[in-house]
Amino acid sequence: MLAATQSRSTILVSASDHDRLSSLARAFLDRVPDMAEDLLAEMDRARVASEAAMPADVVRMGSTVTLQDPEGSTRTVTLVYPAEADIAEKRISVLTPLGTALIGARAGRTVSWRSRDSRVLSATIDAVEQARRMA
pLDDT score of 89? 97
List, as own/partner pairs, every contact residues 77-80 make where C-beta atoms lie below 8 angstroms and the sequence separation is at least 24, other chains included: 78/131, 79/103
Q: What is the pTM of this model?
A: 0.89
Calpha distance 6→125 (Å, rounded): 12
pLDDT in tens, 34-83: 999 999 999 999 999 999 999 999 999 999 999 999 999 999 999 999 99
Q: Which residue has the higher pLDDT, 63 or 9?
A: 63
Q: Which residue has the higher pLDDT, 134 or 106?
A: 106
Domains along the sequence of the chain with CATH: 4-129 (3.10.50.30)
| pLDDT at 1 > cutoff 90 | no
